[in-house]
């Protein structure tokens, strides 16, 4: 069983008078199907009057099939913020008129190596054995060097990303895109004047675009329409993955992990195995709290094993 607990303000108070640090808590067994449980939690929150427009998830959700997860979020108007696994960064996928990576179409002449950018993992702790006289940590410094290189390469690749111009003419999920050189993001000899404009600004210049035969329509037209299913829909998100804006947005997830740590801390939450029982909320799915508040619990069945799909 999966209870969704929502703490209501005490009698005589409003949401504004008492900070709502935790609005909803989904407590599930380890074998629970996360997709079904999370979607049920979103639906339960909305039914209780909460607005859900954005969801910050961990890397496990990039495993989920588009039709099971990302499309269900789109139907609910929820934007996901997610990190990519190394399996998602093995190279470009070729779509009509573009090279696709991280759910974004890029210039057909984007350098091949930019399709294989994997984000370094978390910085390791500083073991005493690796600390030099000045206290530097070799592992930490190496990781930061890799992270800075990754950021530089992501910034370069983002320059090659096509410029979005709105929805397509048919399927509302399809979209229209334009050449990045025409948008002033880089230089290309196929777009007159862009190389001369890009060079003094230190912007990248496309190498050998004229070698493409025949020239893709994105190189000759103002915009082209790309199909939604060709743009890695399960990886699409508002901010370009790996960019500064994405890092700032995804960093909010640390608050979630910090809250979990507080719950499990023996000196604070002391949440442990057997802390909850099946009848802890009573037969009506809710129980009154001291001061007049109420804890509610819509319940869904979540007994299936956890899939990686």
> How many domains, the chain?
2
**Residue where one domain finishes, among candidates 191, 206, 236:** 236
pLDDT at 283: 33
- Are residues 212 and 263 located together in one domain of the fold? no
- Are residues 130 and 202 located together in one domain of the fold? yes
pLDDT at 172: 86
Q: For 85-108, what is the mean pLDDT?
A: 94
Residue 121 has pLDDT above 50, yes or no: yes
Of the candidates 35, 40, 69, 19, the one whose C-alpha atom is nearest the C-alpha of residue 298 is 40
- Are residues 149 and 213 located together in one domain of the fold? yes
Residue 45 has pLDDT above 50, yes or no: yes
- Are residues 105 and 139 located together in one domain of the fold? yes
Q: For 30-51, what is the mean pLDDT?
A: 87
Q: Are 2 and 31 in contact (CB under 8 A)?
A: no
**Residue where one domain finishes, among candidates 201, 236, 271:** 236
147 domain-assigned: yes
pLDDT band at 113 (very low <50, low <70, confident <90, very high): very high
**Residue 45, SS3?**
helix
Least confident of 29-43, 177-191, 222-236: 29-43
Q: For 146-169, what is the mean pLDDT?
A: 95
More confident residue, 175 or 132: 175
- Are residues 209 and 287 located together in one domain of the fold? no
Range of the domain at 232: 86-236
The mean of the pLDDT values for the chain is 80
Residue 308 has pLDDT above 80, yes or no: no
pLDDT band at 279 (very low <50, low <70, confident <90, very high): very low
Q: For 209-231, what is the mean pLDDT?
A: 91
pLDDT band at 301 (very low <50, low <70, confident <90, very high): very low
For 181-217, the three-class secondary structure string (H helix, E strand, C coil) is: CCCCCCECCCCCCHHHHHHHHCCCECCCHHHCCCCCH
- Are residues 77 and 179 located together in one domain of the fold? no
pLDDT at 246: 96
Query: Does pTM surpass 0.95?
Result: no
Which of 40-44, 168-172, 182-186 is predicted most confidently?
Answer: 182-186
pLDDT band at 255 (very low <50, low <70, confident <90, very high): confident
Residue 284 in tokens? 């009506």
> CA 309 to CA 307: how far, in whole Å?
5
pLDDT at 304: 39
Residue 169 has pLDDT above 90, yes or no: no
- Are residues 107 and 152 located together in one domain of the fold? yes
- Are residues 107 and 188 located together in one domain of the fold? yes
What CATH number does residue 261 fall under? Answer: 3.30.420
Instruction: Compute the half-sphere exposure of residue 199: CA atoms within 13 Å on the CB side of its CA.
Output: 6
Residue 78 has pLDDT above 50, yes or no: yes
More confident residue, 282 or 166: 166
- Are residues 216 and 283 located together in one domain of the fold? no
- Are residues 271 and 210 located together in one domain of the fold? no
pLDDT at 195: 97
- Are residues 181 and 202 located together in one domain of the fold? yes
Residue 114 in tokens? 């930019």
């Amino acid at each position: 069983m999966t209870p969704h607990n929502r703490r209501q303000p005490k009698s005589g108070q409003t949401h504004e008078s008492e900070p709502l640090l935790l609005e909803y808590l989904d407590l599930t067994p380890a074998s629970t199907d996360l997709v079904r449980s999370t979607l049920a939690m979103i639906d339960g929150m909305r039914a209780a009057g909460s607005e859900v427009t954005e969801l910050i998830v961990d890397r496990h959700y990039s495993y989920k099939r588009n039709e099971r997860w990302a499309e269900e979020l789109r139907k609910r108007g929820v934007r996901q913020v997610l990190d990519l696994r190394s399996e998602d960064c093995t190279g470009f996928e070729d779509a009509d008129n573009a090279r696709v990576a991280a759910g974004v179409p890029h210039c057909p002449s984007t350098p091949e190596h930019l399709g294989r950018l994997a984000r370094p993992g978390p910085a390791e702790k500083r073991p005493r054995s690796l600390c030099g006289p000045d206290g530097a940590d070799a592992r930490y410094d190496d990781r930061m060097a890799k992270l800075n290189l990754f950021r530089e390469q992501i910034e370069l690749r983002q320059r090659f990303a096509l410029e979005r111009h709105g929805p397509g003419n048919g399927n509302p999920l399809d979209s229209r895109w334009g050449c990045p050189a025409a948008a002033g993001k880089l230089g290309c000899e196929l777009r007159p004047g862009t190389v001369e404009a890009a060079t003094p600004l230190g912007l990248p210049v496309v190498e050998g675009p004229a070698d493409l035969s025949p020239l893709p329509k994105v190189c000759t037209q103002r915009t082209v329409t790309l199909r939604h299913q060709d743009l890695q829909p399960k990886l699409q998100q508002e901010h370009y993955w790996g960019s500064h804006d994405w890092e700032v947005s995804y960093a909010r997830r640390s608050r979630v992990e910090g809250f979990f740590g507080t719950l499990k801390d023996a000196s604070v939450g002391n949440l442990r195995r057997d802390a909850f029982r099946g009848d802890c909320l009573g037969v009506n799915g809710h129980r009154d709290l001291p001061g007049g508040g109420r804890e509610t619990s819509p319940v869904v069945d979540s007994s299936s094993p956890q899939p990686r799909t």
